[in-house]
A and B are shown apart, each in its own frame.
Chain A
Amino acid sequence: MKKIFQKGLLALSIITLSAGCKKEYLETAPTNQVATTDAFSSTKNAWAAVNGIHRIMFSQVFGNQSQGGQSGNMLYMDIMGEDMVMNTTSSSWLRSEYQWITHRNPTSAILQYNYSFYYVIIGNANMIIANIDNAAGTAADKNAIKGQALVYRAWAYFQMVQLFGERYVAGAANSSLAVPIVTTPTKERVPRNTVAAVYARINADLDEALGLLPAYARGTDKSQLNLNVARGIKARVALTQQNWAEAARLASEARTGFVLMSDVQYKAGFNDYGNVEWMWSSRITSDQTNYFYSFFAFMSANYNSTVIRTSPKSIYSVLYNKIAPTDVRKGLWDPTGRNTAAFPIPASGSRYPYMSNKFRVADLNLSIGDVPYMRAAEMYLIEAEALARSGNFTGAANALYPLAFSRDPSYVLSTNTGNALIEEIMTQRRVELWGEGFRFYDLKRLNSPLNRTGGNHSGTVTNGVLSVPASDIKWQFLLPQEEINVGNGVVVQNPQ
């Protein structure tokens, strides 16, 4: 009996030992993530959420290699225009986009990316906007945080509406469908809103942000969106809406405090946001490298990636021929394709006429470089274009002059008027912003056809797509199939 008691006691003690089944035993949490509620407990954490969006701007958000954050959109917008030439079919990167195929294929990566990428930014911005008011912290911080989130949301919708909607026509109803407007964190399916409604939302967000950002000083960190950037974006929006007066005013205000870069800086490789002229840019550091997703892995002259070795991008020879010989920008392209001294490229790399060395990595071992999203030069060009299109030719010529003269010391104030002046400004714009992701947007907002004829575009490499009429259905991107599938009737596809 005693023995049974002993044995029982031993067993019991083991049971008691184990029954330390505290309630916390089943409470676990990840170490590389935080609860959403914690992310907005204070403005300090909310700042991290803003910086998270800045990071998305240069992250490998999705799987496709040519989509390293916003630079993916920049690559697509230029390759679909006429000013960038693809020299060979042998590289598949961007080839189908160059041939205007994939943005009309609902399952393609370009659609998935251009839609999801901006909604990821909008989703993160919506979380900030919805939660920042209850965070612990100063009003100044809250204003800066919320202001940036609003600018991001507006900018993202602006990027999308130009792709997935029809072009905005001033004075018209603009009642065709663009994208769903989502302004609060939601799990619900939201139907697409009209082009007019999306522009209204963009302007409302920008106006609210312009009220919140004046007191915010960002220091040297140009990845942060300050008042200048907000105004610059609003200037772009106004230009696209053909609201010339507003565009000119905002562009002028936006560049306040920025000067144009020198020739030396112009030829320095476009990889450093320390450049005096840059208004908005990501700063990409080596421990945040985006490897072969990097803009510079596709567009630089000197990084040793396969696509750069085999398929360097050239400028459209027709545009190149319009650049004055004294213009610093003329030296960014090699019309011969044989200038090995001024155009160093990776070993075994191919050379083609009119290839570019505008973009270069600073460290040949790393694909990274800062990516410019807004420069003061663009603001001069917006102001000049808006004034010219509104009939103020003198004002336009004067607005263009500082930029044109800065690039070309022989430049004299333009005496052109009317279409000739507009043409001159547009040529300046095409040359100045080459490779920075503007051309498709410009063609579409101006209702211009795509015309790649008469120069160095090949019938084979373009797969015969040398021109697309302005009226073509192909100017509208399709929605990604995933959104149609999930939308289940609530979200409808564009006409195919």
Chain B
Amino acid sequence: MKRFLQSLFLLVAISLTTLAQERTITGTITSRPDGLPVPNASIKIKGTTISGFSDGAGRYSIKTPSIPAVLIISYIGYLSQEVNVTNQSIVNVGLQEDANQLNEVLVVSYGTTNKKVFTGSVGQIDAKDFEKRPITNALSSVVGSVPGVSTTIASGAPGSSPGIRIRGFGSINASSDALVVVDGAVYNGGVSNINPDDIETISLLKDAATTALYGSRASNGVVQITTKKGRIGKPTLNFKATSGWLGRGLQEYERVDAFQYYPVMWEGLRNSLTYGSARIPLATANGIASGTISSYNGISYSGINTLLGYNPFNVPGNQIVGLDGAINPNAQLLYADDLDWAEQAAQGGKQRQNYNMTYSGASETTDYFGSFGYTNEEGYLVKSSLKRYNARLNVNTQPLKWFKTGINLAGTYIDSQFDNVDDGGGSSFINPFYISRYIGPIYPVNLHDVAGNLILDENGNKLYDFGDGRPFSQGRHTIFENLQDSQNDVRAGITSRAYATINLYKGLKFTTNISFDLEDIHRRTYDNPILGDGAPAGRSYHYLYRTTNSTFNQILDYTKDFGKHHLDVLAAHENFSYRYNTLTGAKTGQIVEGIVELPNFSTITSASSNENNATVESYFSRLNYNFDQKYLFSASLRRDGNSKFAPEVRWDNFWSVGGGWNISEESFFKVGWIDQLKLRSSYGVLGNAEGLGNFPYQALYQLGNNNAAAPGLTQQSLANNELTWETSKNFDVGIDFSLLKGRIGGSFEYYNRITDGLIFDVPISLSSGGTTASATNNFTIPTNIGSMHNRGLELTINAHAVKSNDFNYRVGLNLTTINNQITKMPDQNPIIIDGTKAYSVGHSVYDFYLRDFYGVDPQNGDALYRTNTVTSNSRIIGQDTLTTVHGEANLRYVGASSIPDLAGSMNHTLSYKNFSLNFQFTFQLGGKIYDGAYASLMHSGNYGTALSTDILNRWQTPGQVTSVPRMDVGQVVNLGGGNSSRWLTNASYLQLNSANLSYNIPKEWLSKINAKNASVFVSGENLALLSKRKGMNVSGSFSGTTNNSYNYSRIVSVGLNVTF
């Protein structure tokens, strides 16, 4: 009734004042169904250039010159609405959220596009997907986010990056890493230099149609990072603060304790005496092992206590283990609380803090975004920390109608401490993971007297036990050394992007982009003079690494709509150059304590410098066409020249074509529950030359191998003037769909990537000479000689499963399969063995090639391996020829691969009123992992080395059937951890990758502080893992191997986010 009266009133008013057509319209924009105000929504008067924006409370006011008028109200993520205004002066609008998942704006190569008219395959992660997660490296958000993308979990070292493979494993000896592009230019710096809070989207470009504009560098896909820009509307200011705790994410393997360890090692010694060449009678051998007999046949022998070096018990050394091999029942540990090295190595700060401030805004002609961030992450391990300062300013302006320009400038400063695990998880004496995992459970961290009491220094402090008498990590102390030594990186980076666009003519634009990235790393390492590699003099190393990249391109872009035809054509030229400089110096002979700069050391041990350059020049072009958004076509061509190859083969062409059909746009298509259905496909030829070094085709001699004062050169590499790109032919076909008014959306895709000219570092016989440049010391020649394919299916489904005013539940599922197979190998090398794998036709790059473990001989506990050759050590059981000698067992395919049958992730988001809860799971089904770290805990008697609890199942008595061979210190290769199929383990897992709970503070509370939005949240990373074996880092590598690296952290963090 009220409304009727109003209308009546207005009608009268209009009829009375027919000339007063200009009117001010006001109102509030809200979102449906929650009714919350929408700030910064755009309001335009149709057919004019008049426009405005809603304020923080969603209110707006706009003047229309004539009535009737049509208001167009739009806001990102909402369907735009047109409202006819005839006589009202108050127009309130409720915007409907755009549920159609195909209308997303996608960031692609050299531009953006709408998903609906796009023919390629791309997965996009938006800021809201990770802004509440306590991640220091933005790439961690890629894990489990996009189908077809395989990832490894990032290590526990602060700032480290997960491994990313897009659509299989593209290369063997060149790089399989995706190309990283930041704001349109190729980026070679560390992604951890970029503040995750500055990032708007991370796009994973998967198929040829999306990546072809990066041509020769895109065959492994592209990770495109786009940073934030100011949005039109009232300036906003945002503060975010998080604070968290972190700790070890992966538990340690289960290992035997001191009471179990001593008897097992006793048995290993005893068995070596009885079963070894000396054939000492059992009773005597028992006595020798216990330490009650010290010589036999005129030869001296030692007992187990002497060999292990330490007696942690309160009974004499020759009474620890009895002649029956059992631990003395009276034995008590003298320092039971001082045996856990892992715990004492975990002296890191174990915390993470992040503070971030951003401000942004825009007028009609200028937008700006500024941010400042600080992150402090302290790992759980001693001396592992990262302090990062970030700043960014992104300003775009259009001072003239025909001229637009902008600059996006970011600076980073990172100060980090890192301990000595960064040797690829190897067996360095100063790797705290290696030592704490493998040191026997009888060796104390600190120094004790014979009674077991701590020995203290004059100040009453504990002293570390350097263990000169310890057979494992003898005379070294990883905790002491990591505390005394220092390894520090100071990294400073500048990322800059600038452009100018000239509108030449209707639809015709010319743009030039210049990007320049600089990353300086100043690494200082210091080794103390007391213990370890720096002893006895102390030594200091300084390294300066400078990397610069610059890209300069010129792009002509023409867009034309005629009738229902839409055409977009681009032509461009680009130069890319890379420069890497090193400057290193080292000195030894520390003069005074506490100073690690070079003048404090007396003797120069090295001084060197180096510069490497690489350049790429390109011409490229793209055409996008669609008819009525129904029939889509795209094509691109790129011609690249690359300095890594010889002049004759330096230039090549890369191209793609793609097509799409929006079936649901057809008039004949009338299926009510399908909102949108698109069929698309693309094919293209791309290249890969990354990971080859900068001069892979050149025959070179290494300088600087001087002989005292005489200059010296040594042979370093052999030539291959025919070396060129790997080329991959990428085919993709997919269906994108949106159903039930956006309640369900997703894609189903098939891809087939065929890589030809696969580069193999073809190994040359050792007899042709050698070089340190290869791991096996022989020359290798990178040669385009193989082929392989990666094909698979990808499915992604997102459903808004429960939708109501208060409670909403969204669920997403990603599934991926990968079939990888080598289809051509070098003629000379039909099989190339690489660690636990071998490459040959018909096998994947991750097929295990091992000695094949058959089992344990129940008679004597020997390990049996399958072999091809009959020797005096072999025997035949059934169909199998077996040997007890590990070295005689031939390497062979054992029918297992590290590539899972199916991998994927699940995302669950539940929201109730102002609460929102999100979980992300990643999982893998099938595939095997070669658990080498576990193998080293299953040795048959390495003195001082820890043992898995599985060793308790070892063979002990004739007739015993078991899968664990005899303990025998004399046969550690045959019986123990020698490489074999024995260490393959099911690699299926389910991991709770991240979870977060947030609460949006009600608007009525916020108004008191004039805030627009605020939320508090709790987030966790790496919260739980279900896998076959405790301690096994099942998601740490693509190749399915384990090592002793700094395994991942568990982080739990609370945070507050306020926007004004």
Contacts and interface: CB of A to CB of B under 8 A. Distances in A.
A56 to B, nearest CB: 6
B707 A51 contact: yes
Contacts of B537: 364-366
Interface string A414-433: 00000000000000000000
Given A33-B702, A365-B589, A459 B575 contact: no
B469 interface: yes
B708 A52 contact: no
Given A36-B699, A459-B299, A483-B766, A223 B277 contact: no
Interface in B916-951: 943-944
Given A8-B504, A491-B765, 10 more contacts: A14-B510, A21-B575, A21-B617, A33-B695, A34-B701, A51-B713, A52-B712, A105-B973, A116-B777, A482-B778
Contacts of A234: none
Nearest to B700: A33
Given A115-B766, A458-B301, A59 B705 contact: yes
A112 B573 CA distance: 50
Contacts of B702: 32-33, 52
B588 interface: yes
Nearest to B307: A89
Interface stretch (B324-332, B826-834, B985-993): B826-834
Contacts of B504: 4, 7-8, 11
* The 8 nearest A-B residue pairs measured at CB: A123-B769, A365-B537, A306-B475, A51-B712, A304-B536, A11-B510, A52-B714, A90-B471
Nearest to A305: B535
Interface residues of B, number: 117
A28 B719 contact: no
A28 B615 contact: yes
Contacts of B770: 116, 119-120, 123
Contact of A90 (B278, B474, B604, B766): B474
Nearest to B272: A463
Contacts of B111: none
Interface in B728-782: 763-772, 776-779, 781
A325 B537 CA distance: 37
B833 A485 contact: yes
A410 interface: no
B611 interface: yes
A287 B767 contact: no
A221 B969 CA distance: 48
A10 interface: yes
B615 A26 contact: yes
Interface residues of A, number: 113
Interface in A280-304: 282-289, 291-292, 303-304
B643 A27 contact: yes
Contact of B712 (A15, A32, A54, A491): A54
B273 to A, nearest CB: 8
A96 to B, nearest CB: 9
Given A288-B708, A310-B468, A119 B300 contact: no
A180 interface: yes
Contacts, number: 324
Nearest to B510: A11
Nearest to B888: A496
A65 to B, nearest CB: 11
A463 B970 contact: yes
Nearest to A57: B707
Nearest to B300: A458
Interface in A66-91: 89-91
B1 interface: no
A112 B677 CA distance: 61
Interface stretch (A41-49, A132-140, A257-265, A331-339): A41-49
A205 to B, nearest CB: 16
Interface stretch (A186-194, A379-387, A394-402, A443-451): A186-194
Contacts of A267: none
B512 interface: yes
B804 interface: no
Contact of A19 (B466, B573, B718, B766): B573
Interface string A103-126: 011110000100110011011101
A287 B308 CA distance: 39
A318 to B, nearest CB: 13
A256 interface: no
Given A4-B505, A89-B943, A51 B711 contact: yes
Contacts of B602: 365
B278 to A, nearest CB: 4
9 contacts: A11-B502, A26-B617, A29-B695, A304-B536, A310-B469, A482-B763, A482-B777, A486-B766, A486-B778
Interface string B284-319: 000000000000101111100001010000000000
Contact of A51 (B605, B710, B829): B710
B829 A486 contact: yes
Nearest to B764: A187
A459 B701 contact: no
Interface of B: 269, 272-273, 276-278, 296, 298-302, 307, 309, 402, 466, 468-471, 474-476, 502-505, 510, 512, 533, 535-537, 552-554, 556, 573, 575, 588-589, 602-617, 641-643, 647, 650, 694-695, 698-719, 763-772, 776-779, 781, 828-833, 871, 885, 887-888, 943-944, 969-970, 973, 979
Contacts of A104: 887
A496 B871 contact: yes
A466 interface: yes
Contacts of A453: 298-299
A18 interface: yes
Interface in A230-269: none
Contact of A460 (B301, B466, B710): B301
A146 interface: no
Contacts of A288: 706-708
B440 to A, nearest CB: 12
B301 A459 contact: yes
B719 A182 contact: no
Given A8-B504, A104-B887, A48 B712 contact: yes
A55 interface: yes
B554 A14 contact: yes
B431 to A, nearest CB: 15
B302 A189 contact: no
B476 A306 contact: yes
A229 interface: no
Nearest to A286: B603
Contacts of A14: 510, 512, 554
B255 to A, nearest CB: 20
Contacts of A282: 707
A151 interface: no
A464 B277 contact: yes
A456 to B, nearest CB: 8
Contacts of A11: 502, 504, 510, 512, 554, 556
A129 interface: no
A119 B613 CA distance: 32
A21 B618 CA distance: 10
A471 interface: no
Given A35-B699, A187-B781, A89 B471 contact: yes
A309 B277 CA distance: 31
Interface in A325-373: 346, 348-350, 364-366
Given A59-B705, A306-B475, A26 B643 contact: yes
Contact of B765 (A48, A190, A223): A190
Contacts of A319: none
Contacts of A25: 575, 615, 617, 643
A7 B402 contact: yes
A58 B11 CA distance: 102
A404 interface: no
A54 B502 CA distance: 63
Contacts of A463: 272, 276, 969-970
B469 A90 contact: yes
Contacts of B888: 496
